[in-house]
Structure 1
């Protein structure tokens, strides 16, 4: 069982920090789950142009393979100009819709204003619906105020929402795939 965290940006650190924190929560409470971070900053991905996926560069093929082979996802994005960046949109375009079908997605986002959380509701969730993916009811939105100057998460409520999202995606994935669901002690 593999959870793939995706940091869908090539600029900034906060998106990757929040995605990693969700993955760390999963690892801590569910050591049986394999987790991996796909940080788009580490890959030189070509633009999707509709060609056969085998003809893309090695980095692009690697990213397509990692996303396609995962069992469920934490997808993170910064919010710029009231939308998510082209890096993440390009990634969605590269992946065959069947790769996401009936898989669980949890979303995290970060931005400069508190209103940008609406991008999750109005843009990311509809894309997940197009893919016929299952979306965790909770999501995490982080504002610049939730971090200190060293980009460490310092907001207790945000940390609690991260832990809740981690539990939800695991619970949903296991429930939908017939795995035993083990409720974790909240203490």
Structure 2
């Protein structure tokens, strides 16, 4: 069972910090789960243009393979101008919809205002619905006030939501995996 945490930005540190914190919680509470962190800053992704996946650059193919082969996800995004960044949208465009089908997604986001959490409700959840993915009911949203000057998450409610999200995605994944195993026999 492989959980892939995705930091869906090429700028800033807070998104990656949030994603890694959820992954750390999973590692601590559920050591049997394999976790991997995918930081889009580390890759030079090409724009999706409809070509065959084999014709994209090595970096783009690596990312596509990591995402497609994961069993479930923690997807993180900053909120810019009331929306997700283009690099995350491009990633969604690069992945075949069937590769997300029936997989669990949990979301974390960070932004400059308290209202930007609505992007999770109004953009990310509908994208997951298009993919026919299962969405964890809870999510984590943090703004600048939830971090200290060292970019550490210090707000107790955010830390509690991180633990709750980790538990939700694990519970959903284990339950769905068990149900599918029973159905297929």
Match of 1:73 in 2: 73
- Distance (whole Å) between structure 2 residues aligned to residue 153 and residue 107 of structure 1: 16
Describe how 1:56-71 pairs up with structure 2 within 5 A.
56-71=56-71
Deviation at 1:174, TM superposition (A): 0.4
For 1:96 and 1:29, the matched residues in 2 are separated by 31
RMSD: 0.6
Q: Please list, as runs of the form range in 1=range in 2, the aligned pairs for 1:34-49 lying within 5 A after superposition.
A: 34-49=34-49
The Cα shift of 1:54 comes to 0.3
Distance 2:144 2:163 in 1: 19
2:120 — aligned with what?
Answer: 120
The secondary structure found in structure 2 opposite 1:3 is: strand
* Equivalent residue, structure 1, for 2:105: 105
1:17-53 per-position Cα deviation (integer Å, ceiling 9, x unaligned): 0000000000001000000000000000000000000
SS in 1 for 2:110: strand
**2:156 matches 1:135:** no
Structure 2: where are the runs of 5+ without partners?
A: 180-185
Aligned counterpart, 1:5: 5
1: CA distance between counterparts of 2:149 and 2:177?
Answer: 41
Structure 2 residue aligned with 1:53: 53
**SS of 2:175's equivalent?**
helix
Scaled by the length of structure 2, the TM-score of the pair is 0.96
Partner Cα separation in structure 1 for residue 95 and residue 118 of structure 2: 24
Task: Count the aligned residue pairs.
Answer: 179
Q: Deviations over 1:65-123 (max 9, x none)?
A: 00000000000000000000000000000000000000000000000000000000000
Counterpart for residue 182 of structure 2? none
Name the residue aligned to 1:182: none
Secondary structure in 2 aligned to 1:35? strand
Task: Looking at secondary structure, tell me which structure has more helix per residue.
Answer: 2
Residue 85 of structure 1 is matched in structure 2 by 85
- Could you tell me which residue of structure 2 aligns to residue 23 of structure 1? 23
